Amino acid sequence: MLLVSIVGDFYSSVLPIFYEFKEKITKHIIIHDDFKNDVVYARKIINGTCNFVDKYNLEIKSLVIKMDEDSLSAITKVNALIDEHTRSYDELYINITDGLANVGVLLSDEFRAKGANILTYDMYDNEYNILTLETMKSYKMQTSIPIKDHLLLKDVEIVTLQDMSFASKYENDLNIFFEKYEADRKLYIASKEEEKALSTKGTGFLYEYYIYNLIKELGFDDILMGVKVKDKRLDGIYIENEYDILLMKNNHLHMIECKYMKILDTTALLYKLDSVRESLDEDANIMIVTDFDKYNEIAHLTNAEITQTFKRAFAKKIFTRGSPTKNVKLFMQEVDSSFALQTQNIESLYAKKRGYSSIKEPIRQEMRDEIRDYLCTTLGVTLDIYDSKELVRLLQFSTNKHLSHQTKVAMQKNHMLAFIKLINTMLRSKQEYISIYDVYNFYEENLKTN
């Protein structure tokens, strides 16, 4: 098979066809315009496909033709060159999808009459058409490019990747960490061997793992996390980008940006994300997941209240959302619809996500006594540790809660916040690696039963 690829404005349309027929192609002719920007884009396709051929030891020879698409004589020379490399016209396939208009039209007229096949790719339906002199047939794509290969084919180098096994190993704890407890925000450490690895991961990293666990069983073809890349340009210049979660579906590469923040400059973030879209896919959908109190703020606004930021995000297919913990089921459904997954069993997947339980050991009695004695004796706390619901609030490290005047005075008098931090340090020094939210749970249980 001789494949002719015409590189135009939407050069990603070349890659799915190349990948679909990679086992059949013996020669690949790449045609591009001599305009400066076209040269940059074409060079990425040339380098990427050549590196792909080398990686998989494919028997594909490449030929590059740079030309002036506005010159009839230049197109005539291209026709002659393709003729020279064609053994049989029924083995010639010319991909004119989003290519150079003049070249596509004239090549189609020239070679369809000789029995060649004209290819067009529909990126939205993920199917291709083959037009011959007598017929036109449509075919569904049989392959979806893995994310690593997609980036390789676009001449984008992967520098680092995040280890996704951590997310599965600690899925229960991650769910509890973000959905059930508002206290310590530090995961239980299962063993000494894990302590160092865990200590290097801030809450933002853990949030990415939590989001990944919620969506990993939806209908994506491929998922990668923490992908840092170098997007190569001409003359050794490259652009560095980092993606929290990359998602492949039907040859479209999408992304989710995780921002564990309640306040951020959304406008600046929109411009940044729109600028990195080119490294992914011209038709990429992007979702921003934050820690906003409302999961979908725009759903509660009137048309008059919708800001330019929201309008710009909608136009650019960038979906801004708050914390999925506010509505886990809706988040999973929106991911499914936003990225056109058509997952059949979301209800059962959601039910499965709700079935988690902590793997932590219950707090030991001597530890309970030690905490109680420290509260009542060392600090001289006057609050009843079994009756005061406000003590539970105090154990949440937060000073912006609506506490009573009596409790605020007690906090100031007995340095309660300093104590909480000290207790947390004390617990971490224990070999059992008990987290402060175990203490929170202990008091919560006692308040219910006393």
Instruction: Encode pLDDT of 116-171 as tens digits.
Output: 999 999 988 899 999 999 999 999 999 999 999 999 999 999 999 988 888 888 78
- Tell me, yes or no, whether 166 and 130 share the same domain: no
Note the pLDDT of residue 278.
74
For 10-43, how does the pLDDT look when each residue is reduced to its tens digit (9 = 90+)? 777 899 999 999 999 999 999 999 998 888 888 8
3-state secondary structure of 28: strand
Edge to edge, the sheet with strand 136-140 lists: 61-67, 27-33, 2-6, 92-95, 117-122, 127-131, 136-140
- Tell me, yes or no, whether 324 and 369 share the same domain: no
- Tell me, yes or no, whether 293 and 177 share the same domain: yes
Please give the Cα distance from 374 to 396 (Å, whole number).
Answer: 18
Of 322, 353, 384, the last residue of a domain is: 353
- Residue 250: name the closest of 150, 156, 330, 335 by CA: 150
Instruction: Look up the CATH number of the domain holding residue 86.
Output: 3.40.50.10770
Of 353, 383, 414, the last residue of a domain is: 353
Note the pLDDT of residue 15.
92
Of 353, 384, 405, the last residue of a domain is: 353
Note the pLDDT of residue 183.
35
Per-residue burial over 384-397, b if 16 or more Cβ lie within 10 Å, else e, is eeeebebbebbbbe
Instruction: Answer whether residue 297 is part of any domain.
Output: yes
- Tell me, yes or no, whether 406 and 301 share the same domain: no
Place of tokens 């084919």: 153
Note the pLDDT of residue 80.
94
- Tell me, yes or no, whether 125 and 266 share the same domain: no
- Tell me, yes or no, whether 66 and 159 share the same domain: no
Note the pLDDT of residue 63.
95
Confidence of residue 290 (pLDDT cuts 50, 70, 90): confident
More confident of the two residues 184 and 240: 240
More confident of the two residues 374 and 273: 273
State pTM to two decimals.
Answer: 0.74
More confident of the two residues 40 and 57: 57
- Tell me, yes or no, whether 191 and 57 share the same domain: no
Instruction: Answer whether residue 157 is part of any domain.
Output: yes
- Whether the per-residue pLDDT at 52 is higher than 50: the answer is yes
More confident of the two residues 140 and 300: 140
Instruction: Answer whether residue 45 is part of any domain.
Output: yes
Note the pLDDT of residue 309.
67
- Whether the per-residue pLDDT at 297 is higher than 80: the answer is no
For the chain, percent of residues with pLDDT exceeding 70 = 69
Query: Please, what sign has the CA dihedral across residues 59, 64, 69, 73?
Result: negative
Cβ–Cβ < 8 Å for 274, 317:
no
Instruction: Answer whether residue 311 is part of any domain.
Output: yes
Angle at alpha carbon of residue 279, lines to 274 and 281, rounded to 5°? 80
CA atoms within a 13 Å half-sphere pointing along the CA-CB vector of 166: 21
Q: Which of 57-71, 206-220, 283-297 has the lowest mean pLDDT?
A: 283-297
What does the pLDDT average to over 98-123?
92
Instruction: Answer whether residue 358 is part of any domain.
Output: no
- Whether the per-residue pLDDT at 332 is higher than 80: the answer is yes
More confident of the two residues 244 and 313: 244
- Tell me, yes or no, whether 60 and 89 share the same domain: yes
- Tell me, yes or no, whether 136 and 229 share the same domain: no
Highest mean pLDDT among 38-42, 74-78, 437-441: 74-78
More confident of the two residues 146 and 315: 146
Instruction: Answer whether residue 63 is part of any domain.
Output: yes
Confidence of residue 105 (pLDDT cuts 50, 70, 90): very high
Strands (E), 22-88: 27-33, 61-67
Note the pLDDT of residue 362.
44
Cβ–Cβ < 8 Å for 49, 27:
no
Place of tokens 């990359």: 246
- Tell me, yes or no, whether 314 and 194 share the same domain: yes
The total number of structural domains that make up the chain: 3
Confidence of residue 196 (pLDDT cuts 50, 70, 90): very low
**CB proximity list for 430: less than 8 A, separation 6 or greater:** 367
Structural domain including 370 reads: 365-449
- Tell me, yes or no, whether 400 and 299 share the same domain: no
Mode of pairing for the β-strands spanning 2-6 and 318-321: unpaired
Instruction: Look up the CATH number of the domain holding residue 316.
Output: 3.40.1350.10
- Whether the per-residue pLDDT at 6 is higher than 90: the answer is yes
Per DSSP, what are the bridge partners of residue 127? 122, 140
Mean pLDDT of the chain: 77
Please give the Cα distance from 62 to 49 (Å, whole number).
Answer: 9
Instruction: Answer whether residue 359 is part of any domain.
Output: no
Instruction: Answer whether residue 339 is part of any domain.
Output: yes
- Tell me, yes or no, whether 157 and 219 share the same domain: yes
